[in-house]
Amino acid sequence: MPDALRVAAILLVAGAILLLPGFCDRGLWGIWTASREAHLAAVAAHRRGWMAVNAGFAVATILTSGGLVVLAAAAPVPDPSKAILAATAITYVIGGVMWCIALGVRSGTTPMLGAMVADGTSIEPVESLLGAAMSGLFSVFALATSGALLALGVTIALAAVVAAPVGWLIALAGALCIVWFLRAGELIPAVLYIPTLILGLALLGGIS
């Protein structure tokens, strides 16, 4: 395997792995399905854990974005496929930038809102305004990342960057995430790092 592809693979795998330590605080495990009030209360009580969750997502996003950029530049594929990979990487990066902005905002504002609720202070209209802004940022992230994964999977399958089944699996994951988000209006963000982990492992394992 060329050194550049090995670097891409390591970045993709490392991104997913380094996402995990952020979820060590057991006090936050139930917030993803809890009511908004319970969510805010838990975050306010576990500020360091909340910071770790957001930092983990940011690191994972930066590393996987870097991995896809390196892959697009180094993959031994024809020019049309290389152009698609480049566009895919750019789309993924754009979505990642929106996500990192959202992560930075929510790292500080969610604990603040939780403290306000605990003090009996009204959080409106701040909550609604922040919610609308965060929803917009997350929507761009979810759809851009899912779309990039769909295009990535199809391209690497057809160009034989990895074994075709791996590419089609990544494409399917991207498509399902798009459907999930459009139907439910939400998406568990950690799911989006599974396809890049699979790609990184496939590259490291030489599955081609």
> What digits encode the pLDDT tens for the residues 48-103?
999 999 999 999 999 999 999 999 999 999 989 999 999 999 999 999 999 999 99
Does residue 40 contact residue 106 with C-beta atoms inside 8 Å?
no
Domain parsing of the chain, residue ranges: 3-204
Cα end-to-end distance, the chain, whole Å: 10
Read off the pLDDT of each residue in 135-146 and give the average, rounded to a whole number.
Answer: 96
Q: Report the distance separating Cα 193 and Cα 148, nearest Å.
A: 12
pLDDT at 5: 92
Question: Which of 29-33, 118-122, 195-199 has the highest average model confidence (pLDDT)?
Answer: 195-199
pLDDT at 208: 53
The yes-or-no verdict on residue 1 having pLDDT over 70 is no
Does residue 61 contact residue 99 with C-beta atoms inside 8 Å?
yes
Beta strands in the chain (DSSP E): none
CA angle 180/184/189 to nearest 5° reads 60
Smallest Cα–Cα separation from 88: which of 70, 74, 73, 68? 68
